[in-house]
Structure 1
Amino acid sequence: MSTLRGMCTIAYWAEDVAAAVDWYAGFLDAEPYFRRDNPDGTPAYVEFRIGDHQAELGICDSRYAPPGTTGKPSGAVTYWAVDDLEGAVERAVAMGAEPYQPIVARGDLGFRTASVADPFGNVLGLMANPHYMEVVEGRRS
């Protein structure tokens, strides 16, 4: 049995959760399905389900972030599979994200990655991943 079964939820931090939710709703062309509010009625946590496996992308109020969280792009990068890497990077940047890492070929088998820093300080990894597409297509047939 594998220790890691698959990515299920990724949490991004934001001081302005409502603005982050609006940004991600526009970028993902999807609406969140879950919301939990702070006592003052502002959103504390909002979650989207996206992609082939309905992975969860959560936007969390940064006041609940672990100690030492800086609010600046850093740490691990989760790469989301995309059909059009260049288009996804261009769309994110056009919506206010900052380039973080340019498109880089990872060998000669078609794997390519890039990342942007969203307007809230989170690193959003984007990837053209032939293996991911093979797995998804294999499950459909």
Structure 2
Amino acid sequence: MLRGMATVTYYADDHEAAKAWYTEFLGIEPYFEVPGYFEFRIGDYRHELGVIDGRYAPGNQAEPGGEIVRWHVDDLEATFGRLLELGAKEYEPITERGPGFVTASVVDPFGNVLGIMTNVHYLAVLAERS
């Protein structure tokens, strides 16, 4: 049974540039680092976001695609704008999916899809923990 997200991993051919970019975007340094991998703990539940050196990527990574993990954010427009300022490219525009659900996604400078959203269910679960 799935119990919760443990780690989201992305790949980057320029591993050091990816570390600098994600450190700038997140405003924190990686908490864990070994050659070819670094990891941040972020958000209310301290989820892990890791980046692996692109030479270890499975299969053909020529095009962005696959699943999209959407990170809850408080200000979707500001976060989307900040990602674009830092060089990410729009993958999916800001889109209202229904009352309390708005999404967007970008492709980071390293070819990974990064999703963001505002989600009333996330906020309800967070409120239950308070």
- Alignment TM class, shorter chain as reference: over 0.9
Matches of 2:22 and 2:46 in 1, distance apart?
15
State percent identity of aligned pairs: 53
Mapping for residues 1-141 of structure 1, pairs under 5 Å? 3-37=1-35, 44-70=36-62, 72-107=63-98, 109-140=99-130
Instruction: State the SS of the aligned residue for 2:60.
Output: coil
Shift of residue 67, structure 1, vs aligned partner: 1.9
Shift of residue 138, structure 1, vs aligned partner: 1.3
Q: Deviations over 1:61-115 (max 9, x none)?
A: 0111112232x321110000000000000000000000110011112x2101000
Matches of 2:75 and 2:19 in 1, distance apart?
23
Instruction: State the SS of the aligned residue for 1:106.
Output: strand
Which consecutive unaligned segments of at least 5 residues does structure 1 have?
A: 38-43
Q: Name which one, 1 or 2, has greater alpha-carbon Rg.
A: 1
Matches of 1:115 and 1:80 in 2, distance apart?
10
Query: Structure 1 runs of 4+ off > 3 angstroms?
Result: none
Matches of 1:126 and 1:88 in 2, distance apart?
8
| TM-score calculated relative to the size of structure 2 | 0.97
Structure 1 letter corresponding to 2:4: G
- The alignment's C-alpha RMSD in Å is 0.8
| TM-score calculated relative to the size of structure 1 | 0.90
Instruction: State the SS of the aligned residue for 1:10.
Output: strand
Structure 1 letter corresponding to 2:2: L
Which consecutive unaligned segments of at least 5 residues does structure 2 have?
A: none
Instruction: State the SS of the aligned residue for 1:114.
Output: strand
Structure 1 letter corresponding to 2:118: A
